[in-house]
Structure 1
Amino acid sequence: MATVTDSPGLLAPVPEVRAPRRKFSAGRLSSLLGTVPFFTYVVLFLIIPTLVVVIGAFAGDGGFTLSNISALGDEYILDAFGRSLLLSAVTAVVGAVLGAVLAYALATAKPGGLLRRMVTAASGVLAQFGGVTLAFAFVATIGLSGFVTVFLRDHVGVDLYANGVWLFELPGLVLVYTYFQVPLMVIVFLPALDGIRPQWREATESLGGSTWQYWTRVAGPLLAPAFLGSTLLLFANAFSAYATAAALVSQGNPIVPLQIRSALTSEVVLGQQNLGKAMALGMVVVVAVVMTLYALLQKRTAKWLG
């Protein structure tokens, strides 16, 4: 019997195999060039503005200072942050609940049906419908002289503003923000509902489980991370919104974005630009924490959704 060694009992040495070196091909270069617009956008509109805010928050007339950060403890700034957090939390929860119900109705509809396609398309448009246009739409509809307000007052005898001009205050912002929070929830939560397989419900029923047990022990725990993550996304969306509140609230600064506008553009109290950057830094920190939690929940959701 032939052997592969010169001496009996000894194994032949295994030749060293080197991994081939990867050459920097033109295809890899073109793929990297394709990411240049994205990274340019991130640098210009995310990294540089964030650096400007961080540096300005600690800058003063004499150089580095903590006076801007310590000013965040003033009562009117804390009140603005409290109202912003309250506004964001209320609209996020209300929008998440209503949006989840609507998304479930779409998930149970025919996948390629006309109703689902129409509602999904409308949600994509309405989720981005904000700013001056949305504020004007509400003012023209239920404002002091809006056609719904006039109709209810003249023909039904109902005065929407019997207890005050609520539309241009925090309650009005809650209503207007909820308008675009609901369709946003539909968009971000619908994929999670589509990931629920019908076989799971059939298996629950075959084992004698009820509908309540299916939702509390099967579908509920699976959808909980996606629901909480979507709610956090709605919270961040409302917390960072500015244009709608700026167009709707003409007097006062009930929330932080309007306080920042006042600090940057005020002609009464000058030299508050860096205080506005300190408030912006506070907003960045809040949004960063919320989006970090959102990313962790999305990562957990992707384990079963994929």
Structure 2
Amino acid sequence: MTATLTRADVVAAASSKRRRRVPSWIAVVPLLVFVAVAFGVPAVAMLNGAFTVKNQTTGATSYSTANLTESLKGAYLTALIGSVKLSALAGALGTLLGLPLAQVVVTSRFRALREAVLTASGVLANFGGVPLAFAFVATLGNAGVLTTHLGLKDKGWDLYSFWGLVLVYLYFLIPLMVLTITPALEGLRTQWREAAQNNGATGVQYWRHVALPVLAPSLLGGFVLLFGSAFAAYATAAAMVGSSIPLITLQIADAISGNVLVGQENVALAMSLDMVLVAGLVMAVYLPLQRRSARWLDA
């Protein structure tokens, strides 16, 4: 029997051929254009400004590393080191406190509790800036509700200090760690614990020799993520401590507002480049750890 092609069949076949000729990457072009405009243009402007030096006598501009050199001296270097210390400490504490909380959520038999904690973590992980600073000032500031009620000021408590800022950062870093480490905890096989128990291992031995080695890449990756989040935070610290604690983000804000010496107008861009380099180093550590953890847990 000979098949008869109708006009509709011919049109459909031609349309299918045209669709196959269109490359699949065309659909990604709008996203690439948006990324180039939103991230590429500011990055190029920052690089150009960081290496541009203006001669105050002639007004001529030239490319030099003077701004980068200046950004790694004096108060600027102190602020960079202060941000690294604050971020490292807050990230480490957030990792240590977030892990057991996430484990309780994963092993809980109450589904409502699990969903409530994960939902709250998603909200609190993104709750920062001036509202967070105001909430802590009203609660634990010099005239805060808990400070006055518990007499914390007489006991040496000071919210507007390094440790006070660490406490505030933990408010959003611990929930972020819970969200980050929960999938890894869910990937731990029940058979691994059963095998360890059958061989006479205690709960501590199981965590020491089995669970923690498997979770190590995820834990380190979570720490790196928390470090980056704390390192880039600005509004909370600016609203709470101002310039009393040296932080690189606060120094950049001062430099942008004109609080620099003559001829150092682009030092703020150089400090921003320093932050980008630190963030790039953080991501260079985080991505391999994430891939390694995924291989372990998917095995």
TM over 0.5: yes
Map residues 1-306 of structure 1 onto 2, 5 A cutoff. 25-26=18-19, 29=22, 32-61=25-54, 62-110=61-109, 113-152=111-150, 158-160=151-153, 163=156, 166-252=158-244, 254-266=246-258, 269=261, 271-306=263-298
Q: How far apart, in 1, do the equivalents of 2:238 and 2:29 lie?
A: 34
Distance change >3 Å, CA 37–CA 174, structure 1 → 2: farther
1:247 Cα deviation after fit: 1.5
1:72 touches 1:78 (CA, 8 Å); kept in 2? yes
TM-align CA RMSD: 2.2
1:53 Cα deviation after fit: 1.6
Q: How far apart, in 2, do the equivalents of 1:28 and 1:135 lie?
A: 55
1:253 touches 1:259 (CA, 8 Å); kept in 2? no
Distance change >3 Å, CA 303–CA 86, structure 1 → 2: same
Uncovered stretches (5+) of structure 1, i.e. residues with no partner = 1-22, 153-157
Matching residue of 2:12:
none
Question: Identity over the aligned pairs, expressed in percent?
Answer: 43
Q: How far apart, in 1, do the equivalents of 2:276 and 2:24 lie?
A: 32
Distance change >3 Å, CA 25–CA 103, structure 1 → 2: farther
2:53 touches 2:263 (CA, 8 Å); kept in 1? no
Distance change >3 Å, CA 133–CA 83, structure 1 → 2: same
TM-score (norm 1): 0.84
Q: How far apart, in 2, do the equivalents of 1:131 and 1:93 lie?
A: 21
Distance change >3 Å, CA 25–CA 198, structure 1 → 2: farther
Question: Once the two structures are superposed, what CA deviation does each residue of 1:224-261 show, in whole Å capped at 9, x if it has no partner?
Answer: 11001100110011111111112212344610000000
Q: How far apart, in 2, do the equivalents of 1:24 and 1:177 lie?
A: 56
1:264 touches 1:272 (CA, 8 Å); kept in 2? no
1:34 Cα deviation after fit: 4.1
Structure with higher Rg: it is 1
Q: How far apart, in 2, do the equivalents of 1:131 and 1:33 lie?
A: 38
1:44 Cα deviation after fit: 2.9
1:33 Cα deviation after fit: 4.8
TM-score (norm 2): 0.85
1:25 Cα deviation after fit: 4.9
Query: In structure 2, the residue corresponding to 1:167 is in which secondary structure?
Result: coil
2:242 touches 2:250 (CA, 8 Å); kept in 1? no
Q: How far apart, in 1, do the equivalents of 2:227 and 2:241 lie?
A: 20
Uncovered stretches (5+) of structure 2, i.e. residues with no partner = 1-15, 55-60
- Structure with bigger helix share is 2
Distance change >3 Å, CA 58–CA 148, structure 1 → 2: same
Question: Once the two structures are superposed, what CA deviation does each residue of 1:26-83 show, in whole Å capped at 9, x if it has no partner?
Answer: 3785954543443234223322222222221101112101210111232211111111
Q: How far apart, in 2, do the equivalents of 1:244 and 1:28 lie?
A: 52
Q: How far apart, in 2, do the equivalents of 1:132 and 1:161 lie?
A: 27
1:83 touches 1:254 (CA, 8 Å); kept in 2? yes
Q: How far apart, in 2, do the equivalents of 1:40 and 1:178 lie?
A: 36
Single out whichever of 70-79 and 86-95 deviates more from structure 2.
70-79
